[in-house]
């Protein structure tokens, strides 16, 4: 992925910044400039909010045929997560094996290496999820 695009997405990849529509209250991740439900009515009313970083697994699968950047980590788990804030996102579940998780397992965001552009290139970082290992924040 090109460096500029990755760099622009830093706030959402590092800190789970999402957008919230000021018209209908819907939360979007990754963030959007215009609400897909309200269209024109949302223009100028979209605000940036930070997701709380915790949620639960809605569904998951184990990836055995991994893309290049994840070759060293296969097999790994990829899951659709419902965040406490109501949005859904897809992310790898790390530091556990398949028997450790299931639908409904509580997970939290961590900060990991997502990939790198070869041995001499830039390294990309961002969120992956693991089983909840802390007291969930109030909210």
Give the contact letters, 47-86, x = binds to another protein (CB under 8 A), - = no: ---------------------xx-xxx-------------
Under the criterion CB under 8 A, does residue 123 sit at the interface with another protein? yes
Min dist CB 106 to another protein, Å, is 13
For residues 6-45, which are near Zn ion according to CB under 5 A?
21, 23-24, 26, 35, 37-38, 42
- Determine the interface stretch with another protein among 35-43, 55-63, 77-85, 113-121 (rule: CB under 8 A): 113-121
As measured in angstroms, the least distance from the Cβ of 84 to another protein is 16
- The answer to the question of residue 128 lying near another protein (CB under 8 A) is yes
# residues near Zn ion by CB under 5 A: 8
**HEC states along the chain?**
CCHHHHHHCHHHHHHCEEEEECCCCCEECCCCCCCCCCHHHHCCCEEEEECCCEEEEEEEEEECCCCHHHHHHCCEEEEEEEECCCCEEEEEECCCCHHHCCCCCEEEEEEEEEEECCCCCCEEEEEEEEECCCCCCCC
Short-list 123, 65, 116, 63, CA closest to 90: 63
Rounded CA separation 69/85 (Å): 29
Provide the binding-site residues for Zn ion, judged by CB under 5 A: 21, 23-24, 26, 35, 37-38, 42
Provide the binding-site residues for another protein, judged by CB under 8 A: 10, 14-15, 68-69, 71-73, 94-95, 110-114, 116, 119, 123, 125, 128, 133-135
């Amino acid at each position: 992925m090109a460096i500029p695009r990755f760099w622009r997405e830093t706030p959402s990849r590092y800190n789970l910044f999402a957008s919230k529509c000021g018209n209908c209250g819907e939360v979007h991740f990754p963030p959007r400039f215009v609400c897909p439900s309200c269209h024109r009515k949302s223009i100028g009313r979209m605000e940036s909010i930070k997701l709380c970083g915790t949620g639960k697994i809605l569904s998951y699968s184990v990836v055995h045929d991994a893309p290049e950047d994840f070759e060293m980590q296969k097999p790994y788990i990829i899951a659709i997560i419902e965040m406490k804030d109501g949005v859904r996102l897809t992310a790898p579940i790390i530091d556990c094996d398949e028997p450790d998780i299931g639908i409904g397992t509580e997970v939290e965001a961590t900060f990991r290496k997502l990939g790198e552009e070869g041995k001499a290139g830039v390294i990309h970082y961002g969120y992956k999820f693991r089983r909840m290992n802390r007291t969930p924040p109030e909210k």
